[in-house]
Chains A and B, each alone.
Chain A
Amino acid sequence: MKIAIASGKGGTGKTTLSTNLAAYIAESQKVVLSDLDVEEPNSGLFIKGALIKEENKFTMKPEWKEDKCTLCGLCQEVCNYNAIVKLGNEIVVFPELCHSCYACSELCPTNALPMVPQKMGVLKHFEKNGISFIESRLDIGQEQAVPLIAQTLEFVDENFLDTSIKLYDSPPGTSCPVIEATKDADFIILITEPTPFGFNDLKLAIETMKKLEKKFAVVINRFGIGNDDVVEYCEKENIPLIAKIPNNRKVAELYSRGELIYDKIPEVKQELKKITDYILKILKPNKA
């Protein structure tokens, strides 16, 4: 069971929920937590486990072979991303603009642009108290988050076949990286705040999940502030609202120090239990 935790905008508590939910579930069974916010992975600040494995991750980019090139310029013409330019007697490739579509490489009449692996980031696997934590980080200057997210998902699929609950901390927003991070998930938890900003961004996130034809539920963070718009909207639209994490200044304080909160604030633990029960119910519908 793959569960992605997502939100329309940043700063609504996505990382707080992912890390604490993982820690809570790990009290009773093994769980995988994977941070797919590869541009700014922050979950690792809260889960400081033992490093098990570190792998460089590669993506394929064209490399110019001067001796084979006839300077016909076709590569520049076929590249829709301006990632290849012909400068006088030279072909210059800009790997960070390249989307690895292979057009230049495969259409080159003299095979002068073979695709070669290029490092884009690092994947790390940590273990801590029943949590297998997988984090990928894009190298500075790399702009294509999607291929690294795809490879991280693959790593989790291949290495944790037997772990029944897998949590994915998704990147914020509604653009390509979120789509990649959520498109293979069985279920999405959308986290929001009960404020006008939170509500507006939640509606965007819901629109995204509907477009992807995903099953999803909503969790409200900082419940008690703002207004009832989110609650009423969920009722009206028949969207399951599975937990309300209360607003509590102590949460912000613990978060600011990089600490987990699930075992320090009972009201939070109670809400995490509700989410876990909900997940287990979908996982084994007959037992419930």
Chain B
Amino acid sequence: MKIAFTTKGEKWESMIDPRFGRTEFILIYEEEKDAFISFDNRDIEQEAHGAGPKTSQVIYDLKPDVLITGNGPGGNAASILERMNIKIFTGAGNMTVKEAYEAYKKGTLKEF
């Protein structure tokens, strides 16, 4: 499984970025390889509009199976993610990546 997180850093200890469209990083954890790939999304801060679709497109290209985030994507972003057959879990806004991953494994995160 490839699991994507919206985050503020690139480590297990980093905090989840509760924002979807304007997330600072996208971190992909590949369970089989036990490895991270990270995508620096900080340029998104410069975008006046359409942060959601732009970030969704990055996620689309990274092709994860699961997305874990805080507030959840807005309408535009959600309509892109819907096309990808991806499971989205929200409510991880105040957790570290590690805590969010454990919560997901335990099944305590809300499915979007």
In the bound complex, what is the Cα–Cα distance between A88 and B79 (angstroms)? Answer: 15
B residues adjacent to A (C-beta < 8 A) = 47, 49-51, 53-54, 56-57, 60, 75-76, 79-80, 83
Are the CB atoms of B60 and A87 closer together than 8 Å? yes
CB neighbours (8 Å) of A83 from chain B are: 49-50, 53
The complex places the Cα of A81 from the Cα of B54 at a distance, in Å, of 10
Query: By the criterion CB–CB under 8 Å, are A87 and B80 in contact?
Result: yes
Smallest Cβ distance from A63 to chain B, in angstroms?
Answer: 16
Q: 16 A-B residue contacts at CB 8 Å?
A: A81-B50, A82-B50, A82-B51, A82-B53, A82-B54, A83-B49, A85-B53, A87-B57, A87-B83, A88-B60, A92-B53, A92-B80, A92-B83, A94-B53, A96-B76, A97-B53
User: A104: shortest Cβ distance to chain B, in Å?
Assistant: 13
Chain B residues contacting A88 (CB-CB under 8 Å) are: 60
Contacts of B60 in A (CB 8 A): 87-88
How many A residues face the partner with a CB closer than 8 A? 13
Contacts A92-B80, A94-B76, A97-B76 given: A85-B49 contact, CB under 8 Å? no
Binary contact readout A86-103 vs B (1 if CB under 8 angstroms, 0 otherwise) = 111010101011000000
| Contact flags A66-90 to B (C-beta < 8 A → 1, else 0) | 0000000000000001110111101
What secondary structure prevails in chain B residues at the interface with A? helix
Total A-B pairs in contact (CB under 8 Å)? 36
B47 contact set on A, CB distance < 8 A = 82
Known A87-B57, A88-B60; judge A82-B80 contact (CB<8 A): no
Give A residues with C-beta under 8 Å from B.
Answer: 81-83, 85-88, 90, 92, 94, 96-97, 141
- Cα A259 to Cα B42 with chains together (Å): 51
Contact A94 B83 (CB under 8 A): no
Bound-state CA distance A126–B80 (Å) is: 41
Which residue on A lies nearest to B76, using beta carbons?
A94
Most chain A C-beta atoms within 10 Å of own C-beta, residue among B56, B75, B76, B80: B76
